[in-house]
Amino acid sequence: MKNQIKLLTYLSITLLMTACGSTNRMTMGVTTPAKVYLSSDVKSIGIINRSEPSKGNKGLDKIDQILSAEGLNLDKKGAEAAISAFASELGMLKNLDEIKIIENVEEVKSGLGVLPATLSWETIEMLCDTYHVDVIFSLAFYDTNTKSSFKVTTMPLENNLGVKVNVPAQEVTLNTLVNCGWRLYDPKTKLVIDERNYTKEMLFHGQGINPIKAVEAVKQRNETVQEYSRNVGIAYAQRLVPNKIRISRDYYMSGTDNFKVAHRRALTGDWDGAAELWKKELNNSDLKIQGRANYNMAISSEIDGDLDLAISYASKAYTDYENKLALDYVNILKYRVEQNNVLDQQRSH
């Protein structure tokens, strides 16, 4: 936008030194809107854990606990790690007065390893009134499902003389699938604002003189599952804030001597200097060169933060000179304008 501070003042630009034909690729950092918008009116949030087994579902959980070779607490600890990390990250990212982890509410428990039905708005309103919160985040489900397989092998073991000899052994492979999902309830609008699922498959190996010892030898399974769960909590919190991402653009580096010199200037980060030379080619007698110059000036305008001018240059490159890259670029720039409008609205509320 015309009044936007130049992107170069707060965004780094990196050139990827992999030229392809007549173009070279560069990347730049941009800020995109939060995937999930939390109104500034929201000052206090509640977090519930629906993955806790309800009294009616404990039988189902026991079956899964048997299949999960390391026992009863893997799901429980993983869910707690995800919620704790989510609350901690959100506290650092959002201007909130209070973040409450709401526990021991029998009405919200599910205990199923699948996404349960949404909670009733009567239940959501009850939770908000009781705990004085504005919205409810729900870890809707959390489940680890483990399959084990064994094969006969050998392993070194010390005998009575202290000498290591190879003995028959069992090797186990534990294939653990972690599934979890989040929901965000807004009682004011009575809408589920967001719903997001995360899945990861993990393989673990161990050896022992029998299957039980082989399972006992599996290292760091609990720690790995909990670390992934913490990362899930952090990732979900990140959905509530604007994100800095990197985008790539291809610009023309050849066609005339001015393009070649401009390319070298671009490689050193002198984009204003490159634009001076591209601008000189806007009136070149060769229509193909004019198209490339207009296209590159669109790139320069985007770097400067003037997306309207970038669209104007890119549109001309396509309509007047049939530049093959320009039409897609126009659509990309229009999408960026829409995203910036959303970002401005989020920042103004």
Instruction: Choose the weakest-confidence range: 8-22, 40-54, 213-227, 286-300.
Output: 8-22
In sequence order, the 6+-apart residues with CB closer than 8 A to the CB of 25 are 15, 16, 18, 19, 248, 249, 250
- Please tell me whether residue 178 adopts helix, strand or coil conformation: strand
- Specify the DSSP class assigned to residue 149: E
Give the 3-state secondary structure percentages of the chain, helix then strand then coil, rounded to 5: 45, 30, 25
Question: What is the model's pLDDT at position 335?
Answer: 97
Question: What is the model's pLDDT at position 216?
Answer: 73
In whole angstroms, give the CA distance from residue 184 to residue 46. 10
In sequence order, the 6+-apart residues with CB closer than 8 A to the CB of 133 are 44, 45, 46, 98, 100, 102, 127
In whole angstroms, give the CA distance from residue 91 to residue 250. 39
Which has the higher per-residue pLDDT, 103 or 19? 103
From the list 57, 182, 183, the residue with the least C-alpha distance to 111 is 57
Asked if the model's pLDDT at residue 14 lies above 90, the reply is no
Question: What is the model's pLDDT at position 57?
Answer: 54
pLDDT in tens, 191-239: 999 999 999 999 988 888 887 777 777 778 889 999 999 999 999 999 9
Length of the chain: 349
pLDDT in tens, 31-77: 999 999 988 889 999 999 998 765 555 555 553 454 454 545 788 89
Question: What is the model's pLDDT at position 121?
Answer: 95
pLDDT over 90, % of the chain: 62
Asked if the model's pLDDT at residue 333 lies above 60, the reply is yes
For helices 221-238 and 74-93, give the axis angle rounded to 10 degrees. 30
In whole angstroms, give the CA distance from residue 199 to residue 205. 20
